Amino acid sequence: FLDANENSYGSPLPANYNRYPDPLQLDLKDAISKIKGVPIENTFLGNGSDEAIDLLYRAFCNPGKDNVIILPPTYGMYEVSANINDVEIRKVSLLPNFQLDLEKIAESIDKNTKIIFICSPNNPTGNSINREDIETILTNFKGIVVVDEAYINYARQKTFIQELTEYGNLVVLQTFSKAWGLAALRLGMAFSSRKVIDVLNKIKPPYNINQATQDLAFEALKNIDQVNTWIKETVTERERLSIELNALNIVTKVYLSDANFILARNGLRIGNGYQSGWFGYIIKS
């Protein structure tokens, strides 16, 4: 206990935070493992899933040489982290139905393509990506396939964490920031093969999850019933809001959502037709 030069008197708080936290967060991972059914050695915890995204670039991409594929419109951090890490981004737009353009993705891959980011349910479109299409990429692409499931608790489609044993190149991202209501704690999960998880653990900052976060998340996991109630309520309200939006004159299309948000198209009546466009609003409760 003397090797890290901490303060042996304690902390000026009711709880003691004078010791550095467990760098591998084993107690918390054990509790997560009981809920997710994924072994501890296949689980990485990050300071938000954003940390896992950044570490994946650092682990698998050579700056100035390698590239990754992203599928816009999608979550912004894939591009932000690529820029920070000097990794080329190749963008293959989703099809008009917001599904994968498998042909164009295949054309964009070369020997320096190291990661493909698939967000499902996708932010900002809200839909899940077809399972068979993700499986096609997992089977045919030899690099890392990230399936970002930040909104999976709200989805009709089931998670990919059951497929981890089948695909060594699969990384599933989940987070405590959405359904679990713990965005302020900054806690994200990456599930993958042992080989990938070992690399992430090797290159992460040693104490990336602070003790307060580990303690609070551990307590929160005991309240899973509350979280499940919120998920059900959110899904019911999502369906209700979709119907209400559809009934509005200025809304021309409400897209099917598998997330806790809804994408809608507005249309301003001009003469006999509509001038269609996106709402310029992000509505928050």
Ligand X SMILES: Cc1ncc(COP(=O)(O)O)c(C=O)c1O
In whole angstroms, the minimum distance from the beta carbon of 254 to ligand X comes to: 20
In whole angstroms, the minimum distance from the beta carbon of 257 to ligand X comes to: 13
State yes or no: cis peptide before 23, omega within 30 of 0: no
Closest CA to 171 of 124, 203, 137, 204: 137
In whole angstroms, the minimum distance from the beta carbon of 173 to ligand X comes to: 6
Smaller CB distance to ligand X: residue 50 or 66?
A: 50
Smaller CB distance to ligand X: residue 7 or 207?
A: 207
Q: How far apart are CA 100 and CA 96, in angstroms?
A: 10
In whole angstroms, the minimum distance from the beta carbon of 136 to ligand X comes to: 21
Find the residue with minimal CB distance to ligand X: 48
Token pair for 63: 């700056």
Q: How far apart are CA 45 and CA 201, in angstroms?
A: 9
Residue 114: count of CB within 10 angstroms of its CB: 21
Q: How far apart are CA 153 and CA 178, in angstroms?
A: 9
- Amino acid in position 207: Y
* Residues binding ligand X (CB under 6 A): 48-50, 75, 119, 123, 148, 150, 175, 177, 183, 188
In whole angstroms, the minimum distance from the beta carbon of 206 to ligand X comes to: 20
Smaller CB distance to ligand X: residue 143 or 188?
A: 188
Smaller CB distance to ligand X: residue 137 or 146?
A: 146
Q: How far apart are CA 120 and CA 280, in angstroms?
A: 23
Smaller CB distance to ligand X: residue 184 or 203?
A: 184
Radius of gyration of the chain (CA): 21
In eight-state DSSP terms, residue 239 is H
Smaller CB distance to ligand X: residue 141 or 261?
A: 261
Between 194-203 and 49-60, two packed helices, what is the crossing angle to 10 degrees?
100
In whole angstroms, the minimum distance from the beta carbon of 50 to ligand X comes to: 4
Closest CA to 224 of 176, 258, 271: 176
Length reported for the chain: 285
- Amino acid in position 47: N
In whole angstroms, the minimum distance from the beta carbon of 152 to ligand X comes to: 10
Smaller CB distance to ligand X: residue 111 or 284?
A: 284
